[in-house]
């Protein structure tokens, strides 16, 4: 995946190249998603590898470059009422940012939908792994199409009973017709037409899996068992299939904020003040200061709402920090400033950016309103969404180090809310977390 920013007056645009993982679908995303420090060079190397493989392949498919203007991406934001519940878009409607193709099929963006109709059977998968979540999407498929939505999946699943949960999209004469969980639960209730778009709602929570299509309960599995986490994948197998409006929200997060900040450690010798107002909002008032969680987290999902009236106000959320040290961790930036009025040029990493690892591809947060950040950390992979739009997708491929400022840290560490300087004035109305299985 390679991206570059182009400034051309008001028509600021971002270009994204689809990340392709060929020559063995079992490769981990760590080897497929470059760190921001080497994105451009590795993108050229990947393009050369793709060209060589395409030349030998019986079905030739080349990666496409997708462009989206700042206006396109900002228009795709979700309402705060949804993002405050954790809802984010997995597909922004214009690019394949956050997706990787493990195989040779002609997955592409067409008329605001992820579309495939030719090539070899394979998955278009999220680069991010998900554990407990609600997924909602719309699909359209030909009468004889055999496709599916894969949950908690490996990149190259071979057995749907152990490698994933496969929700089938298939004809009535298939052993597992549309709405069935392949290899687990058969469903015969689907009566959709090929001409129409249909809504699929999937809830994967612990051992429970529920499948609905067009608000009709298709099947339930209350003993789903393994696996507990994995990628979300869209399958091309045979026949044309299209997906759009793909949204997900994590479930089971626990809010760490209360009136007494009982789950946090204060540092009274540092300047500034942390307080909680009558609405149970955490107020960060000035000073180079930190509020540190008493618990440590390694792989996790975090959801927060933040608000800063001044566009230059600066805060941050540190994670996997060294306990008791001064902000020695990864930093998810909280800063809405932009350069020359261009949202594609963050002035200071941008909200949701992973400081010193990858800037946000667009500044989606705005001053004077509540904004939501969803952060997922899984090993060396980190991804963030702001107001429903994914803004980072990064692998920390540095050598391992105790201090995330010097190298990759997957060891659990504390969370830290930052007060950057005397001009910092920020509010947080939730900091909800769930450790990964």
DSSP state string for 182-226:
TTTB--------TTS-EEEEEEEETTEEEEEETTEEEEEES---S
Alpha-carbon distances, residue 167 vs 101, 129, 148 (angstroms): 19, 17, 5
Q: What is the pLDDT of residues 74-110, one digit of tens each?
A: 999 999 999 999 999 999 999 999 999 989 999 999 9
Give CA–CA dist 149/208, Å, rounded.
16
Residue 2, pLDDT score: 32
Residue 13, pLDDT score: 62
Cβ contacts of residue 90 below 8 Å, gap of 6+?
98, 99, 126, 232, 246, 247, 248, 390
* Low-confidence winner among 56-70, 144-158, 234-248 (lowest mean pLDDT): 56-70
Query: Is pLDDT above 50 for 39?
Result: no
Residue 15, pLDDT score: 66
Mean pLDDT computed over every residue of the chain: 88
Query: Is pLDDT above 50 for 356?
Result: yes
Query: Is pLDDT above 50 for 55?
Result: no
Residue 227, pLDDT score: 87
Query: Is pLDDT above 60 for 50?
Result: no
Structural domains in the chain?
3-250 (2.60.120.560), 254-435 (2.60.120.560)
Cβ contacts of residue 12 below 8 Å, gap of 6+?
5, 6, 69, 70, 342, 343, 344, 345
Query: Is pLDDT above 70 for 261?
Result: yes
Give CA–CA dist 106/62, Å, rounded.
8
Residue 65 banded pLDDT, cuts 50, 70, 90: confident
DSSP summary character for residue 71: H
Query: Is pLDDT above 70 for 66?
Result: yes
Q: Strand 371-378 vs strand 133-141: parallel, antiparallel, or unpaired?
A: unpaired
CA proximity to 350, closest of 391, 383, 390 = 391
Residue 11 banded pLDDT, cuts 50, 70, 90: very low
* Low-confidence winner among 16-20, 185-189, 318-322, 404-408 (lowest mean pLDDT): 16-20
Residue 76, pLDDT score: 97
For residue 153, what are its two tokens? 């999946």
Query: Is pLDDT above 80 for 235?
Result: yes
Greater confidence (216 vs 55) lies with 216
Residue 367 banded pLDDT, cuts 50, 70, 90: very high
Tell me the mean pLDDT in the region 344-353.
97
Residue 58 banded pLDDT, cuts 50, 70, 90: low
pTM: 0.88
Residue 60, pLDDT score: 61
Cross-strand pairs, 332 = 317, 354
Q: Are 60 and 202 in contact (CB under 8 A)?
A: no
Query: Is pLDDT above 60 for 211?
Result: yes
Residue 64 banded pLDDT, cuts 50, 70, 90: confident
Residue 33, pLDDT score: 35
Q: Is the peptide bond before 227 cis (omega within 30 degrees of 0)?
A: yes
Percent of the chain, pLDDT > 70?
86
Q: Are 89 and 389 in contact (CB under 8 A)?
A: yes
Give CA–CA dist 48/4, Å, rounded.
18
Query: Is pLDDT above 80 for 34?
Result: no
CA proximity to 311, closest of 284, 341, 286 = 341
Residue 40, pLDDT score: 34
Alpha-carbon distances, residue 71 vs 13, 75, 148, 348, 430 (angstroms): 9, 6, 32, 21, 28
Tell me the mean pLDDT in the region 354-381.
97
């Amino acid at each position: 995946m390679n991206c570059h920013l182009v400034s051309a007056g008001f028509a600021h645009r971002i270009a994204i190249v689809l990340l392709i993982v060929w020559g063995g679908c079992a490769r981990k995303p760590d080897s497929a998603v470059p760190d921001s420090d080497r994105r451009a060079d590795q993108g050229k190397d990947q393009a050369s590898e793709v060209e060589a493989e395409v030349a030998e392949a019986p079905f030739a498919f080349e990666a496409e470059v997708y462009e989206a203007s700042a206006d396109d991406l900002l228009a795709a934001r979700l309402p705060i009422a949804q993002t405050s519940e954790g809802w984010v878009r997995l597909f922004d409607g214009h690019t394949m940012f956050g997706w990787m193709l493990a195989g040779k099929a002609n997955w592409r963006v067409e008329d605001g939908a992820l579309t495939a109709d030719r090539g070899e059977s394979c998955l278009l998968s999220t680069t991010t792994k998900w554990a407990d979540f609600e997924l909602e999407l719309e699909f359209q498929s030909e009468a004889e199409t055999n496709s599916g939505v894969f949950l908690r999946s490996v990149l190259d699943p071979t057995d749907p009973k152990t490698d994933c949960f496969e929700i089938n999209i298939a004809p009535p004469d298939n052993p597992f017709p549309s709405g069935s969980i392949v290899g687990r639960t058969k469903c015969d209730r689907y009566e959709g037409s090929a001409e129409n778009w249909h809504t699929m709602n999937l809830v994967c929570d612990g051992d429970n899996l529920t499948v609905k299509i067009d608000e009709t309960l298709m099947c339930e599995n209350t003993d789903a068992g393994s696996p507990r986490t994995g990628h979300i994948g869209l399958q091309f197998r045979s026949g044309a299939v299209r997906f759009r409006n793909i949204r997900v929200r994590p479930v089971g997060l626990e809010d760490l904020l209360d009136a007494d900040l009982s789950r946090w450690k204060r540092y009274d010798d540092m300047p500034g003040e942390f307080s909680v107002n009558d609405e149970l909002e955490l107020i960060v008032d000035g000073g180079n200061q930190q509020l540190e969680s008493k618990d440590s987290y390694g792989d996790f999902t975090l959801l927060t709402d933040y608000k800063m009236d001044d566009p230059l106000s600066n805060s941050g959320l540190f994670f996997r920090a060294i306990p008791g040290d001064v902000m020695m961790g990864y930093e998810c930036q909280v800063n809405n400033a932009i350069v020359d009025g261009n949202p594609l040029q963050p002035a200071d990493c941008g909200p949701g950016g992973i400081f010193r690892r990858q800037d946000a591809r667009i500044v989606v947060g705005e001053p004077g309103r509540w904004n939501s950040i969803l952060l997922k950390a899984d090993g060396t992979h980190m991804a963030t969404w702001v107001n429903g739009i994914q803004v980072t997708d990064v692998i920390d491929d540095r050598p391992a180090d105790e201090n995330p400022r010097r190298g990759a840290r997957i060891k659990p560490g504390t969370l830290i809310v930052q007060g950057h300087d005397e001009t910092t004035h920020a509010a947080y109305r939730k900091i909800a977390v769930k450790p990964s299985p």
